[in-house]
Structure formats: C-alpha cells, structure tokens
Structure 1
C-alpha cells in the first residue's frame, strides 16, 4: 500500500517503521526505562505542550506563546536524572502508566524526516492510590531516520483538556 503526500510516497513499510518506533517508545516509558528512552531522542529535540484556552474559538485555542512544558533535550535529560534521585516528589511513589498510541498518520516526508500525527491516551496511577488519571492528547512528531535508527526530533503535545485533571505532568507524554 502506498499513499501520496505532497508528491511524496508513503509506503506501508515506512508507516510500520514509524508505528514500531512509537510503540517502542511507549513501552520503554511504561516500563520506567527512561534512560533507554533518551537514546530515541535526537540531540536537537524540541518537546512542547502548549496551553489550550477554552475561551477561544477552536481555530485559536492553542497558544504558541504559553506552554505547560517547553523543553529541549538537555531539559529532558535533567528531568530523567531527577526522577532517579528519589527527590522528584511528584513521582514518589512512581507513576504506573499505560500509553495507548493510535491513529498514527504520516502527514509529511522531507528527506529523512517524517511528520507524524497520532493520538495518545495515558492511564496513570501512583502507588496504592485508588485514584487514576486518564490523559488524552494528540501528538505531532517529527522523526528523523538516520544511521543510528529513528530518533524523535520534535514533539508537540496538544492536551484534550484545557484544565488538567491530573495533579502534575511529571511523566512524559
């Protein structure tokens, strides 16, 4: 199967590679293997969660000037290092998560960089708490395919909720 996007052909093989990459990334994070997950991140990573404003019309509700998270790879590394100190109190006890990634769609191809849209649903529960969170989001990724395999070049996460029901975003989406 092939699909044409702006004169670029997307093969089922490329879609499979992208989907496998996203699935592997989800599994590593769910298993608490953040250090291994870091290897999937490109050195030029941009990881952002812009603010969504309920009072704006849908076409203007995503702010690209206000962010819940706006990280580069060095910030993500520091967050992972802090998680492993036992002093990241938003993650003591650590969250138990299950990420479901679906609706994977290749939206563009530019050489060795693939633009991908996907849906994400994260189940999150901490320790022995009965309470759990469901965090729905849409993700827009750029994945670079190179000699060391696919790496996440950028991720923009659009949360479905305007007001977070979860107490914090101490986990990676």
Structure 2
C-alpha cells in the first residue's frame, strides 16, 4: 500500500500530518517527553543546521554544519538527563507553548513515507522570570506510516534567527 492509499488521498495525508504535529506539540508542552519519544522512529535523525546571514538567501543554510545533530540514542540521553535535576539549563523546567501552522504535505517519496513542512513558534518561559523567548523556525519532517501509527523519521529545524536570543536549545523544536 502507498502512503496515499493508506491515508486515502492528499487531504487525508494533510489531516494525518497535522494531527501528528498537534499531538507532538501538546505532549512536549505538557512535559510528556516519554510519550513523545514513543513517536520517534528508530532511525530518527533530528538536525538543526547553521544559518548564515552573510550568504545569499538561497545559500544561507549550511547543511554540512549543525547546531544540533541527534539520533534516537542522543534524544534518549537528552530526555534522561533532563529528568535528573542536573540539567541546569532546564532547572526549573521551561514552560512552553508550541504553535504549529502552515502545515503542508510536500511529498510521498515511498509508499510508507510522507514529507511534511510546517512553521513552528515556541513560547518559552522559566520559573518566575518575567523574560520569555520566542523561537521561530520552519521544520521539514519525514513521517513513516507504520502498523503502530505515525513515527517521526527525520526532522530538519531551520531557525529563522542566525544569532539566537534564547540562552540554549534544551527544548525540543
């Protein structure tokens, strides 16, 4: 079965992808990282490439250099560390609100794969600090359709900013 046959067409693929991204955002906003981790494919690759403002817009994203390049094992370590109380960048934990929009199915390269683009705006605030961060980005995801549901196979996060104003990227984008 192809991805479009499984989902019943492009509109249903878009609904499937939108539902997946909305669920993922809610799980992360509610601090349910273990449940979020279950949405990851074993072959997940999660990358945040460098963006260089000195380059022409068509060349400003350097996909050979990364702020972050994580596999499932790396993401497992990040989640485990965040639960120790020793990840000081997240003590106290960030309160977040993820706004996901501009969701677009951009392709179905194989029968069980769906490529999805989305815009994300993360509001982040910690403790009683009145300061907050807004982290805007575009995400290019590849979702795998499995018998157990949709799994995130890859994510490329393209940050809008070239110089980050947030003190760290400890939150999942």
The interval holding the TM-score normalised by the smaller chain is: over 0.9
Displacement, 1:15? Answer: 1.0
The CA deviation string for residues 6-61 of structure 1, in whole angstroms up to 9 with x for no partner, is xxx94212211110000000000000000110000000000000000010111110
Provide the C-alpha distance between the structure 1 equivalents of 2:152 and 2:97, rounded to a whole number of angstroms: 20
Taking the TM superposition and a 5 Å limit, the aligned residue runs for 1:8-157 are: 10-109=9-108, 110-157=110-157
The CA deviation string for residues 61-118 of structure 1, in whole angstroms up to 9 with x for no partner, is 0011210000000000000000000000000010000000000000001211000000
Secondary structure, aligned partner of 1:76: helix
What TM-score, normalized by structure 2, do the two folds share? Answer: 0.94
Structure number having the greater strand percentage: 1
Provide the C-alpha distance between the structure 2 equivalents of 1:15 and 1:138, rounded to a whole number of angstroms: 17
Provide the C-alpha distance between the structure 1 equivalents of 2:9 and 2:153, rounded to a whole number of angstroms: 19
Provide the C-alpha distance between the structure 2 equivalents of 1:141 and 1:80, rounded to a whole number of angstroms: 20
2:164 counterpart residue number: 164
Secondary structure, aligned partner of 1:59: helix
CA RMSD of aligned residues (A): 1.2
**Gaps spanning 5+ residues in structure 1: where?**
none
CA contact (8 A) 1:108 1:114 kept: yes
Provide the C-alpha distance between the structure 2 equivalents of 1:124 and 1:83, rounded to a whole number of angstroms: 16
Aligned residues: 166
Secondary structure, aligned partner of 1:70: strand
**Gaps spanning 5+ residues in structure 2: where?**
none
